[in-house]
Every structure is written in C-alpha cells, then in structure tokens.
C-alpha cells in the first residue's frame, strides 16, 4: 500500500502538526508496484550511502546527532537544497525523519523557502519497506531566486559596514546592533518565520530575528545555531547559540530590540523612554539566560559559563565590586562618545545592592551626571542586576 503524509514546518520543537492523506489502491496492484520499486531502489540506496560526504561542522545540531541520524539529516538537507522530490530515505522511522527535518532547519536558515514536507510510505502487506521524502515550498523557483537576490543585497550592504579588523565578539555585536536598527518587531509580519521577513520586509517576530542573526553570523564566519524554547509567561520563543573562540554564548536579538520591548509597554522606564538596544542578551551565560528563558531544543545544548565576551565585560560596564573609579571612568567615556544612556551591570545581587544604595539612595549619581535641573532619569532591573541612566 502507498500512503502519503504531510508535516508542516514552524516551531516544531514546540508544536507540530502531522496530517495524513491516504490513497487506497487494490491490494494486489499496490503490493506489486511497491515490490518492484523497492527492489529497484536497493542498489541506488547503497550507492548513496557510499557517496555521502560528512562535514565535521555542517552545523551545531548536526554534530550532536548519531551516525544514523546524521545520514537522514544529510539526505533531507540535500533534498531541500536541491529541490528534489521523492528522495528515498535510509530511515523508515517517521519520528526520526521529523526530528531530522527540524534539525536541518535549525542549522540552515538559508532554506527559507520550505514550510514543511511530504512523505510517502511503501508497504508490502503490513510491512513498511521504504519512505520517500519531498519538501513543500512557500514559493515557486522564480520567487525563490528573486527573494534570494533581495537577501543578497541586504547581506552585502550589512557586511560592507563591518568594522575592519573586527574580532569575533565585535562581529557578533555589529550584527546584533545592525539587525535591531533595521528591523521592527511585528507579530503580524509577513514571512515572520523565515529570514525574508527581516531581510526583505524589515519586520519580523522572534524566529525571523533568530534565523536572520544566524544567517549573518554564518556569513561572518561565526559558528551558531537556532534555539527554541519558552520565556517567562510560557510563550514560545527562538534565539541563538553562538561560539566565540572555544566558548559558547547565548544571543537573543529579539529581546535586544526596543520595538519588542515596547510591545510589553513602557512601564518602569522614565517618561516612557526605552533604550534603543538592550544588551542584556548579547553573549550571556546559561545561568543568565535561564532567568527568563527555558530551552526546549531539538538537541542538547552546551553549558555556557564564560563571561569573557559578554557585552558588559567587553565594554567595561561589568562590576564585580563597588568601584567609584570605574563608575567615574564609565560616565566620562559615555559622555565623550555622545551616548544617550548607559547601563551598568553587576555580577551579583550584593554588588547591585551596593551600587543602588550609593547611586540612588545616597544620591552619588549626581557626581557623575550632568543634570542642571537636578532630575535623574533612570531604570533598574533587579532580576538582571543592572541599572540604566539617561545622560
């Protein structure tokens, strides 16, 4: 019997939709057809297994799979990249195929034109003999080519502004800032689940932000992958895992965008002013991310412990103790740069408490701020151990 099925794409790590469309054929006709097809496909399958070339770092998710899972991953990846149909897979396990499909999408944001896949089961009696795979596409080939040209124009313009001699941290920071400055959070954005929403429309949701971040990081030579999970309140969310040197960090470009923060309201910010960019989610540790994010990813994630390339550490805004000299230097440098605001980050609640006591309760902040009217605009985030001051 021949049976077809359809799996829809999306945030498959969180929700999935499996729909079967059955085609009923006379048993004898079905059995004869499948038997011939199965026998004819044996040599082809063996040849395919011999010619598969595995790249050690095809993607983070790929590297976390078993040999068998990697084989299915590569078959699906190549089928989607080459728009192939009815590709015979080495696995007949539908759950394994669904998992491999999502793994491919997590590693490959450039496959923006796929919104799911169909599969066909070939059986003899009750015995499943093989499954063939075909991608389902959001656009036709002409549309894909047109959108790719638009994507390339955006990416080329972005990369042209990359600072000369930038190290990996500077590249990640540049891409984080560039995307935030050029994208508006919009829950109704067209193509919000893929990179077209960001690179073509300039409006997106979390998955679009995360895939666009991954796409640009890949072009900059930064190893990264997509992470799915949930955030405070239980809402599904997507962000990134990136590698700088030999250390992994989390990056959430969506939560770094003021347009996303504005969706939740401006309460807690002076005069409704929200910092243009929130750097609390640029190169952070597992412990820091777990304060607000809970991963539910397709594969295990590494523990991120290093703060060496955290934004606040690299920018000299990280406090491991109450240090008046460091405070004075920070405000002086930010004024010289013409910054609109500055955020101070503490490594613990104890340091945060001491900073708040000194700057706010004892009003030491007036020693560092130029505020002739005697009014200070600031916001504080006890959960993140941070305080922001408008200059």
pLDDT value of position 96: 96
**How far apart are the C-alpha atoms of 116 and 341, rounded to whole Å?**
44
Assess contact for 251 and 242: CB atoms under 8 A: yes
In a domain, residue 158? The reply is yes
Whether 279 and 183 map to the same domain: the answer is yes
Whether 297 and 172 map to the same domain: the answer is yes
Whether 171 and 93 map to the same domain: the answer is no
pLDDT tens, position by position, for the chain (391 residues)? Answer: 555 555 544 333 332 223 233 232 222 222 222 333 333 344 443 333 333 333 445 699 999 999 999 999 999 999 999 999 999 999 999 999 999 999 999 999 999 999 999 999 999 988 999 999 999 999 999 999 999 999 999 999 999 999 999 999 999 999 999 999 999 999 998 888 899 999 999 999 999 999 999 999 999 999 999 999 999 888 999 999 999 999 999 999 999 998 776 554 444 555 556 668 889 999 999 999 999 999 999 999 999 999 999 999 999 999 999 999 999 999 999 999 999 889 999 999 999 999 999 999 999 999 999 887 888 888 888 888 999 898 8
Q: Reduce the secondary structure of the chain to three states and give it as a string.
A: CEEEEEEECCCCCCCCCEEEEECCCCHHHHHHHHHHHHHHHHHHHHHHHHHCCCCCCCCHHHHCCCHHHHHHHHHHHHHHHCCCCCEECCCCCHHHHHHHHHHHHHHCCCCCCEEEEEEEEEEECCEEEEEEEEEEECCCHHHHHHHHHHHHHHHHHHHHCCCCCCCHHHHHHHHHHHHHHHCEECCCCCCCCCCHHHHHHCEECHHHHHHHHHHHHHHCCCCEEEEEEEECCCCEEEEEEEEECCEEEEECHHHHEHHHHHHCCCCCCHHHCCCCECHHHEEECHHHHCCCEEECCCCCCCCCCCCCCCHHHHCCCEECCCCHHHHHHHHHHHHHHCCCEEEEEECCHHHHHHHHHHHHHCCHHHHCCCCCCCCCCEEEECCCCEEEEEC
Is the pTM of the predicted complex or chain greater than 0.85? no
Beta bridge partners of 337: none
Whether 129 and 190 map to the same domain: the answer is no
pLDDT value of position 6: 53
Domain total in the chain: 3
Whether 149 and 296 map to the same domain: the answer is yes
**How far apart are the C-alpha atoms of 197 and 183, rounded to whole Å?**
9
Whether 11 and 105 map to the same domain: the answer is yes
Nearest to 238 by CA among 259, 218, 211, 263: 211
**CATH code of the domain in which 268 resides:** 3.10.620
The boundaries of the domain holding residue 59 are 2-137
In a domain, residue 171? The reply is yes
Whether 295 and 164 map to the same domain: the answer is yes
**How far apart are the C-alpha atoms of 317 and 311, rounded to whole Å?**
8
Residue 293: both structure tokens together: 């994010």
Whether 94 and 177 map to the same domain: the answer is no
């Amino acid at each position: 019997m021949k049976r077809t099925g359809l799996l829809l794409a999306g945030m498959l790590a969180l929700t999935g939709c499996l729909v079967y469309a059955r085609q009923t054929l006379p048993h004898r006709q079905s059995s004869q057809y499948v038997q011939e097809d199965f026998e004819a496909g044996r040599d082809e399958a063996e040849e395919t297994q011999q010619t598969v070339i595995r790249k050690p770092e095809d993607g983070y998710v790929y590297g976390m799979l078993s040999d068998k899972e990697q084989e299915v991953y590569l078959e699906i990846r190549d089928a989607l990249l080459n728009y192939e149909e009815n590709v015979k897979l080495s696995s007949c396990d539908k759950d394994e195929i669904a998992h491999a499909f999502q793994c491919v999408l997590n590693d490959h944001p450039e496959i923006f034109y796929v919104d799911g896949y169909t599969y066909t089961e070939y059986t003899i009696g009750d015995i499943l003999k093989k499954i063939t795979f075909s991608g389902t596409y959001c656009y036709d080939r002409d549309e894909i080519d047109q959108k790719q040209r638009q994507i390339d124009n955006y990416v080329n313009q972005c990369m042209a502004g990359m600072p000369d001699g930038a190290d990996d941290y500077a590249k990640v920071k540049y891409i984080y800032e560039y995307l935030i400055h050029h994208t508006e959070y919009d829950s109704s954005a067209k193509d919000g689940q893929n990179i077209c929403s960001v690179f073509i429309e300039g409006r997106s949701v979390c998955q679009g932000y995360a895939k666009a971040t991954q796409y640009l990081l890949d072009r900059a030579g930064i190893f990264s992958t997509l992470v799915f999970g949930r955030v405070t309140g239980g809402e599904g969310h997507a962000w990134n895992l990136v590698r700088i040197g030999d250390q992994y960090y989390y990056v959430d470009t969506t939560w770094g965008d003021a347009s996303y923060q504005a969706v939740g309201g401006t309460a807690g910010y002076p005069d409704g002013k929200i910092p243009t960019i929130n750097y609390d989610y640029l190169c952070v540790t597992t412990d820091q991310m777990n304060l607000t994010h809970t991963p539910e990813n397709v594969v295990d994630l590494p523990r991120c412990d290093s703060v060496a390339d955290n934004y606040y550490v690299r920018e000299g805004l990280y406090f491991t103790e109450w240090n008046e000299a460091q405070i004075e230097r920070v405000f002086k440098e930010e004024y010289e740069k013409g910054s609109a605001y500055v955020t101070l980050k503490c490594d613990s609640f104890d340091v945060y408490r001491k900073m708040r006591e000194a700057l706010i309760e004892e009003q030491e902040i007036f020693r560092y701020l130029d505020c002739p009217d005697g009014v200070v605009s600031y916001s504080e985030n006890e959960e993140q151990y941070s305080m922001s001051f408008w200059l």
